[in-house]
């Protein structure tokens, strides 16, 4: 198969044939359009990176469904880790009789939570861009993604963070 051989045009064909199905699985599970779009992109990125594991005798849709299930599971696992970390931090503060946090601390926590809600790969890309101050081209190379994709993730991620932060400020 051309896809397993690494032909970029075959990847485009694979995406064209299966992206709507993969997106519908992601949307049904994650119930958030941005998360579903990001997860769909991750599925095809993982498929491309692991194309050597594809068995050409098996249906492509079934192989992509398996990858989709793992991507969705990763999103849910990240959400659960974030929730547990937030609860643990609140419990520790309550046990220690910590004084009320300053506005700066609260702001950092709210921004961190907003960033964590983005999910992969947007959260990682924005952290690299703004925490490590890496140029987008370097991030694209490090994550093996097209530069345009990285720029789109930054744009959409910042828009989602802005929306999340506006909700917290009301």
Surface-to-core class of residue 109, CB atoms within 10 Å of its CB (0-12 exposed, 13-18 middle, 19+ buried) = middle
- DSSP codes of every residue in 117-160: HH-TTHHHHHHHHHTS---HHHHHHHHT--HHHHHHHHHHHHHH
pLDDT value at position 73? 92
The secondary structure of residue 59, as a DSSP letter, is -
- What's residue 3's pLDDT? 84
Q: 17 is in which domain, residue-wise?
A: 1-98
Does 108 share its domain with 73?
no
**Same domain as 155, residue 119:** yes
What was the pLDDT predicted at 2? Answer: 85
Same domain, 160 and 143: yes
Residue 170 has pLDDT above 60, yes or no: no
Q: Of 50, 81, 98, which residue is a domain's last?
A: 98
More confident residue, 82 or 149: 149
pLDDT digits (tens, 9 = 90+) for 114-139: 777 777 788 888 878 876 778 899 98
Task: Dig out the tokens for 71 from the structure.
Answer: 């991507």
Find out whether 45 and 11 touch, Cβ atoms under 8 Å: no
| Claim to verify: residue 94 and residue 106 sit in the same structural domain | no
Q: How far is CA 69 from CA 8, 9, 30, 133, 153, in A?
A: 24, 25, 11, 33, 22
Q: Is the pLDDT of residue 47 over 60?
A: yes
Residue 32: per-residue pLDDT = 81
Q: Nearest-CA neighbor of 22 among 30, 157, 148?
A: 30
pTM, full prediction = 0.55
Q: What is the CATH number of the domain that holds 148?
A: 1.10.10.10
Residue 168 has pLDDT above 60, yes or no: no
CATH number of the domain that residue 49 is part of: 1.10.1740.10
**CA 65, CA 165: separation in Å to the nearest integer?**
34
Same domain, 19 and 45: yes
* Count of the separate structural domains present in the chain: 2
Across 2-28, average pLDDT: 91
- Give the N- to C-terminal CA distance of the chain in Å, as an integer: 54
Is 53 in the same domain as 10? yes
Last residue of a domain, which of 98, 127, 160? 98
Question: Do 50 and 75 fall into the same domain?
Answer: yes
Last residue of one domain, picked from the residues 75, 98, 121? 98
């Amino acid at each position: 198969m051309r896809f397993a051989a690494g032909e970029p045009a075959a990847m485009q064909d694979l995406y064209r044939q299966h992206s709507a199905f993969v997106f519908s699985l992601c949307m049904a599970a994650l119930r958030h359009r941005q998360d579903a779009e990001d997860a769909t992109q991750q599925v095809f990125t993982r498929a491309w990176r692991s194309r050597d594991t594809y068995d050409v005798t098996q249906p492509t849709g079934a192989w992509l469904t398996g990858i989709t299930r793992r991507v969705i599971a990763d999103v849910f696992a990240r959400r659960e880790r974030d929730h547990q970390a937030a609860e643990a931090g609140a419990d520790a503060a309550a046990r220690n009789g910590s004084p009320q946090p300053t506005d700066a601390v609260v702001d950092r926590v709210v921004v961190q939570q907003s960033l964590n809600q983005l999910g992969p790969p947007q959260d990682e890309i924005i952290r690299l861009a703004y925490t490590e101050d890496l140029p987008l081209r370097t991030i694209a190379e490090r994550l093996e993604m097209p530069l345009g994709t990285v720029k789109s993730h930054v744009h959409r991620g910042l828009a989602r963070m802005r929306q999340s932060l506006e909700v917290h400020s009301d």
